[in-house]
Amino acid sequence: MPRHAAPFVFATAQYESGDWDSAPSLPANLIDSVARYTSLPVAPQGVSVSLSSDDALRYPLLFLTGHLPVRFTPQEGRVLQRYVQRGGLVFIDDHNHDIDGAFHKTATEEIARLVAPLTPLPNTHALYSAFFTFPDGPPTTSHELNGWGDNLIHEQLLAVRTGERISVLYSNKDYASEWNFHPDNKRFLGVDPTRFGVNIIVYALTH
C-alpha cells in the first residue's frame, strides 16, 4: 500500500535557561523504537528546534528535558502558548526525577503561568493503551528504584488537558535517563523501556 503521510520527526525543544540537550541519545532511541514496533513513517534523525522560534510549530510533538531551573524567555513563553493553543503536545521530563528539585519546581511553575496548572493524569487514560498497554499507569524507571534522587516511585504523571486530550504531559520519573542509551543496547534488556515512549508518540499522532 502506498505511503502518503509525511514522516514523523522527533523534535527536542531548545530553551535558553537550562541544559535542554542533557539526553542526547534519547531521540535516536525513540526513533528506533517507533520504526521497530510500528509501520509509521519516521524520519531517521530527530531535530532540535528553538522554543523562541515559530519553527517549533512545525513539530506538533515537542520533547523538553533538563536538570537546571527553567525560566522561559518572553518569546519562548509566547511560542509555547501559541503551540499549545493550536493543538501541539509538549512532553516534559524532569531529568532529576526529584519531587522537589529545581527543574520540577520551576518547570511546573512556568507551565502553570503560561498554560494551566498541571494535574495528575489518571492511570486509566488512553495514553496508557495507545499502543502498548500499561495497566498500572506510567512504567517505573530504574532511577526511581536505585536510590538516586528522591527515592520515590511517582505513581502518576501530570498533565494539562483540554477535555480528555493532553496538551502538556509532565513526568518526573526521569525517562530522559531511562531512555538515554544507544538503541543497539536494547538487545541486552529483557523489556524495552522505550515502549512507553512509543505510546506517547502514537498518542500524539492519533488524539
Partner 1 sequence: MRSRTDARARRAGEAVLRALGVGALLLALWQAWRPARDAAAARDARAPLVSADSLARLLSDPSRSALALELAAVPDAERRALLQAATHAGVRVGWRGVDGAPLLALAVSAESRVDPAGGTVVRLAAPPDVVVELADSLGWIDSATVTAPGVTWQVPGEARAFTVRVGGTQAHTGAPTRITPRRVRLLAEAGWDARFTLLALEEAGWAVDGAFVIAPRVRVNAGRPEALDTARYAVVVALDSSAWSQAPAIARFVREGGGLVLLPEAASGAPAVMPRAGPVGARTEGVPGALRTAAPREGLAFRPFARLEPGSVVLEQSTRAGSPPTVVARRVDAGRVVQVAWASTWEWRMLGGDASVAAHRDWWRLLLQRAAAGADPVPSVSGAWPGDAAPLADLVARVGMPGSVPDGTANQPSTPRPPDSRLLLLAAAALLAEWWSRRLRGAR
Give residues in contact with partner 1 (CB under 8 A): 1-6, 8, 37-40, 54, 57-58, 60, 85-88, 130-131, 165, 202, 204-207
Nearer to partner 1, 28 or 166 (CB): 166
Residue 52, CA distances (Å) to 12, 14, 15, 131, 135 in order = 13, 8, 7, 32, 37
Smallest gap from Cβ 149 to partner 1, in A, equals: 33
State the burial class of residue 164 (Cβ atoms within 10 Å of its Cβ: 0-12, 13-18, 19+): exposed
Q: What minimum distance in Å lies between the beta carbon of 88 and partner 1?
A: 7
CA-nearest of 155, 154, 90 to 116 is 90
Q: Which amino acid is at 1?
A: M
Cell numbers for 135, please give them. Answer: 495497566
- Cβ nearer to partner 1, comparing 168 with 176: 168
176/198 with CB nearer partner 1: 198
Of 59 and 181, which has the nearer Cβ to partner 1?
Answer: 59
Asked if residues 170 and 111 have their Cβ atoms less than 8 Å apart, the reply is yes
Residue number with CB closer to partner 1 (104 or 125) = 125
Q: Looking at beta carbons only, is 87 or 117 nearer to partner 1?
A: 87
d(CA 34, CA 27): 11
Compute the distance between CA of residue 172 and CA of residue 104 in angstroms, rounded to an integer: 7
CA atoms of 26 and 22, how far apart (whole Å): 9
Question: Partners of 170 in the beta sheet?
Answer: 92, 158
Q: How far is the CB of 162 from partner 1 (least distance, A)?
A: 9
Smallest distance, partner 1 to C-beta of residue 182, A: 24
Residue 153 CB, nearest approach to partner 1 (Å): 28
CB of 138 to partner 1, least distance (A): 19
